[in-house]
Amino acid sequence: MKIAIVILNWNGEVLLERYLPSVMQHSDGAEIYVADNASTDNSITFLKTNYPTVKIIQNSSNGGFAKGYNDALKHVNADIYCLLNSDVKVTKDWLTPIKNAFNTLPQASIIQPKILDDMRKDYFEYAGAAGGFIDQLGYPFCRGRIFQALEKDEGQYNDIQEIFWATGACMFIKSSVFHELNGFDEDYFAHQEEVDLCWRAKNVGHKVFYVGTSKVYHLGGSTLSNMNPKKTYLNFRNSLFSITKNLPRRKAILIILIRLLLDAIAGVRFLFQLKPGHCFAIIKAHFSFYKNFRKMYKKREKKNFIEKYYTTKSIVWSHFVHQIAKFNILVKN
């Protein structure tokens, strides 16, 4: 099994200096690549000077996460791609459980490890935590992270579990599956493109797993913080894109109408919180969705859609009304 670790970089010299050493130290047997999205800092010089064995792929432009990986992975020959953020610190033997899972779970096409917070190492990290899920309305959440509520890691998710989506912060995917799906949807630019990729994979029969016996530490927010209006814009818009593309037509239309209403409520809530930038980001996201609706609709898979895609009916209701902040309590209700 040939694994290629591919780190997407954009003006991330500081992050490479801080996090690349752990990848070099603990990734025996894997080829390590840095895919550079037309950086204007000294990233390339830093790599060539300090890590001459790292293979560098220089993309011609900064096309974001989606296009950056799509372009770079055309030049990588491996059985398994590990898509790794530049702000992730890996641990000793982190690859062994992943290899074992691919060998013992032939149905597994995509895998993510446990994602912990590099700033608070005994807590799960926002982007991925212990595996991703969505509710009936298409809102993504994780075991170990529901909205901004992060669980402490007490071994409760040291398991191997089928999940709905794996985080792009550290995602292992069979190269054949990545290319079968034509990679990420470049219209997303960044954020939730991994949810869409996993959803499309599941729609054609592939499975996604979490392996809690492998762990990494993620800084998070190094490109866009969770409270950046641009991230709000991308998350709200791209979530609507995924619903349009990946659900049966009638169900998609109904859920989109409900989501538009809930998004409006979220916008009003942002106003009351004195965060007008986030309210404007939602409005902007809706206009972009309307503009691109026909384009997204044409991308719908022609194969069967999976019926059981959600873990709970409404994560918004469960969290904000019933105050549920832990996944294990959520699934019992």
- pLDDT, tens digit, 9 for 90 and up, residues 65-79: 999 999 999 999 999
Residue 224 has pLDDT above 80, yes or no: no
- How high is the pLDDT of residue 227? 72
How does residue 223 score in pLDDT terms, banded at 50, 70 and 90?
low
> How does residue 307 score in pLDDT terms, banded at 50, 70 and 90?
confident
Closest CA to 63 of 88, 33, 34, 38: 38
Instruction: Place 332 in a pLDDT band, splitting at 50, 70 and 90.
Output: confident
pLDDT of residue 303 exceeding 70, the answer is no
Encoding tokens for residue 54?
Answer: 């790292």
- 3-218 carries CATH number 2.70.150.10: no
Residue 90: burial class (beta carbons within 10 Å; 0-12, 13-18, 19+): buried
Q: Which DSSP symbol is given to 83?
A: E
Residue 42: pLDDT band (50, 70, 90) is very high
Could you tell me the two tokens for 329?
């309590």
Reported as a single tens digit per residue, the pLDDT across 89-146 is 999 999 999 999 999 999 999 999 999 999 999 999 999 999 999 999 999 999 999 9
Q: What pTM does this model have?
A: 0.95
CA–CA dist 75, 211 (Å, integer):
28
Quick one: pLDDT at residue 225?
58
Residue 302 has pLDDT above 70, yes or no: no
For residues 198 and 243, is the Cβ–Cβ distance under 8 A?
no
Amino acid at 218: H
Q: Identify residue 13 by its one-letter amino acid code.
A: E
Q: Please report, for the chain, the start and end positions of each structural domain, with discontinuous segments joined by +.
A: 3-218, 229-301
Average pLDDT of every residue of the chain: 95
- Helix (H) or strand (E) run with residue 218 in it: strand 207-218
**311/318 Cα distance (integer angstroms):** 12
Give the pLDDT band of residue 2 (cuts 50, 70, 90). Answer: very high
301 pLDDT above the threshold of 90: no
Which comes out higher in pLDDT, residue 220 or 269?
269
Q: What number of CA atoms fall less than 13 Å from residue 127's CA on the CB side?
A: 28
Helix (H, G, I), strand (E, B) or coil at 239: helix
Position 138 scores a pLDDT of 96
Contact 9, 86 (CB under 8 A): yes
The rounded Cα 38 to chain-centroid distance in angstroms is 22
Q: What is the DSSP string of 12-55?
A: -HHHHHHHHHHHHHH-TT-EEEEEEES-SSSHHHHHHHH-TTSE
* Surface-to-core class of residue 214, CB atoms within 10 Å of its CB (0-12 exposed, 13-18 middle, 19+ buried): buried
Q: Is the pLDDT of residue 87 over 60?
A: yes
* Half-sphere exposure at residue 166, Cβ-oriented, CA atoms within 13 angstroms: 29
pLDDT of residue 221: 66
Contact 149, 158 (CB under 8 A): no
149-168 residue pLDDT tens:
999 999 999 999 999 999 99
pLDDT digit string, tens, across residues 181-221:
999 999 999 899 999 999 999 999 999 999 999 999 999 86
Q: How many other β-carbons are positioned within 10 Å of the β-carbon of residue 113?
A: 30
